[in-house]
């Protein structure tokens, strides 16, 4: 299985929203959405569509088997996403049980833009009588074709937007193939959940409502996930991946309204059960190997110059390791470690600016 997962993992939605705002209002800086929703949330059906891209080298796309897994994932993820989104207002998500299919020709041969994608979405919606208020979800393959407004090579995992015809849509870069429901390879579910969550709360993608996953998963240097069993029962939340205990699927961290403008949001605002559901029972302790791997990843990030993400990964790995040893009280002592790491980061940044 190809794995093209980049170091950085970002959502391009806000950048796209801001570009649209500047085009419509030259010279006026885009507003920042408030902590509460100012416009209605999504209530409709999501239609997963398998696009085949007709390129000079032949057809490319995410295959039917992987789309079948992605469809099952959306069906499982929709209820907890809906529950989390109720913090911002009434909403509902149905998932079309059939995967749609379409063939498109990228105007750049192997490249296309968001404007091209929006046009294809409108054509598909018209040809298949997609009801107003529904949404289309599209996966881009890990190689062979690229969306120039969301290049996977630069760490962009996806975004959501609205077409000129008013059709809401999500776009996700698949970072590998051979999808599994638990996505242990981390190649599609993180972004698919993230964009579905944010489309649900801000379906018009116009800065009226907050981006609810960015502060917890992706754009702010942290990556919280909420884990569930095969029946949709909440297990636990955390930033270590894999978590070190069994789970069936996960969704991306979903920020609470009070912290919607924080970047990053604190752990308590990202790692919690869906509102109205029981909290976690005693979760199995994390696997120490996974904890050590996260610490090692943090050290590699730090040495590579990505100091902020390195500090976050090392700190989360230490938390994870202590939990696995049953030493949760020692968390309090980690504040001193965090302070030392942040001081070291500041010193390094100061030295780099001298060069």
> Could you say which DSSP state residue 257 is in?
G
In which domain, by residue range, is 110 found? 10-269
Of 216, 146, 139, the residue nearest 170 (C-alpha): 139
Give yes or no: residues 249 and 307 share one domain: no
Residue 279 lies inside a defined structural domain of this protein: no
User: pTM of the entire structure?
Assistant: 0.75
User: Per-residue confidence of the chain (355 residues) as pLDDT tens digits?
Assistant: 333 333 445 555 555 555 554 455 466 554 555 567 789 999 999 999 999 999 999 999 999 999 999 999 999 999 999 999 999 999 999 999 999 999 999 999 999 999 999 999 999 999 999 999 999 999 999 999 999 999 999 999 999 999 999 999 999 999 999 999 999 999 999 999 999 999 999 999 988 899 999 999 988 999 999 999 999 999 999 999 999 999 999 999 999 999 999 999 999 999 999 998 766 555 555 556 667 777 887 788 778 887 777 787 787 778 666 665 655 434 444 554 555 666 666 666 666 666 5
Are 307 and 173 within one domain?
Answer: no
Residue 317 lies in a domain: yes
Distances (CA, A) of 65 to 84, 121, 181: 29, 22, 12
Whether residues 261 and 292 fall in one domain = no
**61 and 165, same structural domain?**
yes
Same-domain pairing of 314 and 257? no
- Same-domain status, 297 and 251: no
Q: Does 343 lie in the same domain as 306? A: yes
Residue 167 in any domain: the answer is yes
Domain-embedded: residue 160: yes
**177 and 218 co-located in one domain:** yes
For residue 306, give both structure tokens.
């990505």
Separation between Cα atoms, residue 262 and residue 253, nearest integer Å? 13
Whether residue 153 sits in one domain with residue 14? yes
Residue 112 domain-assigned (yes or no): yes
What Rg value do the Cα atoms of the chain yield, rounded? 20
Burial, 66: exposed, middle or buried (Cβ in 10 Å; 0-12, 13-18, 19+)? Answer: buried
Q: Is 350 inside a domain boundary?
A: yes
Whether residue 192 lies inside any domain: the answer is: yes
Q: Which of 269, 302, 335 is a domain's end point?
A: 269
How many domains does one find in the chain? 2
Same domain flag for 98 and 31: yes
Q: Are residues 224 and 107 in the same domain?
A: yes
102 inside domain: yes
Q: Are 137 and 234 contained in the same domain?
A: yes
Among 206, 236, 269, where does a domain finish?
269
Copy the structure tokens of residue 166. 């008013």
Both structure tokens of 98: 């059939």
């Amino acid at each position: 299985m190809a794995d093209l997962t980049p170091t950085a993992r970002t959502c391009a939605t806000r950048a796209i929203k801001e570009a649209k705002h500047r085009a419509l209002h030259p010279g006026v800086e885009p507003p920042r959405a408030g902590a509460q929703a100012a416009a209605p949330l999504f209530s409709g059906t999501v239609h997963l569509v398998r696009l085949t891209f007709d390129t000079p080298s032949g057809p490319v796309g995410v295959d039917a088997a992987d789309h079948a897994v992605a469809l099952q994932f959306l069906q499982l993820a929709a209820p907890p996403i809906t529950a989390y989104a109720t913090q911002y207002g009434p909403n509902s998500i149905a998932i079309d049980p059939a995967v749609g299919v379409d063939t498109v020709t990228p105007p750049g041969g192997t490249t296309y833009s968001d404007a091209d994608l929006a046009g294809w979405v409108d054509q598909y919606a018209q040809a298949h009588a997609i009801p107003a208020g529904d949404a289309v979800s599209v996966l881009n393959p890990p190689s062979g074709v690229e969306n120039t407004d969301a290049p996977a090579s630069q760490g962009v995992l996806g975004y959501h937007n609205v077409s000129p015809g008013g059709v809401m849509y999500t776009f996700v870069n698949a970072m590998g193939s051979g999808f599994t429901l638990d996505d242990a390879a981390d190649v599609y579910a993180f972004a698919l959940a993230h964009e579905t969550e944010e489309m649900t709360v801000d379906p018009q993608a116009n800065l009226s409502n907050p981006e609810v996953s960015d502060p917890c998963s992706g754009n702010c240097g942290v990556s919280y996930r909420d884990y569930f069993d095969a029946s949709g029962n909440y297990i636990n939340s955390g930033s270590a991946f894999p978590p070190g205990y069994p789970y069936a699927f996960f969704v991306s961290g979903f920020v609470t309204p009070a912290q919607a403008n924080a970047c990053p949001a604190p752990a308590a605002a990202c790692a919690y059960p869906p509102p109205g559901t029981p909290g976690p029972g005693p979760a199995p302790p994390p696997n120490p190997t996974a904890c050590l791997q996260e610490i090692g990843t943090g050290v590699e990030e730090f040495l590579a110059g990505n100091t902020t993400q390195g500090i976050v990964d090392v700190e989360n790995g230490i938390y994870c390791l202590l939990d696995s040893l049953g030493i949760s009280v020692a968390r309090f002592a980690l504040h001193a470690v965090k302070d030392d790491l942040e001081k070291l980061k500041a010193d390094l940044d100061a030295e780099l600016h001298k060069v």
